Amino acid sequence: MAITKDMLISEILRHRSDAAEILMRFGMGCVGCPSSQMESLEQAAMVHGLDLEKVLVALNEGLDD
Residue 8, beta-bridge partner list: 40
If DSSP codes are grouped into helix, strand and coil, which group holds residue 11? Answer: helix
Please tell me the predicted confidence (pLDDT) of residue 64: 66
Q: Which amino acid is at 42?
A: E
In angstroms, the CA 12 to CA 6 distance is: 10
Q: In 3D, which of 54, 48, 59, 64 has the Cα closest to residue 19?
A: 59
In angstroms, the CA 33 to CA 30 distance is: 5
pLDDT at 65 over 60: no
If DSSP codes are grouped into helix, strand and coil, which group holds residue 25? Answer: helix
pLDDT single digits (tens) 6-62 = 999 999 999 999 999 999 999 887 777 777 778 999 999 998 899 999 999 999 997
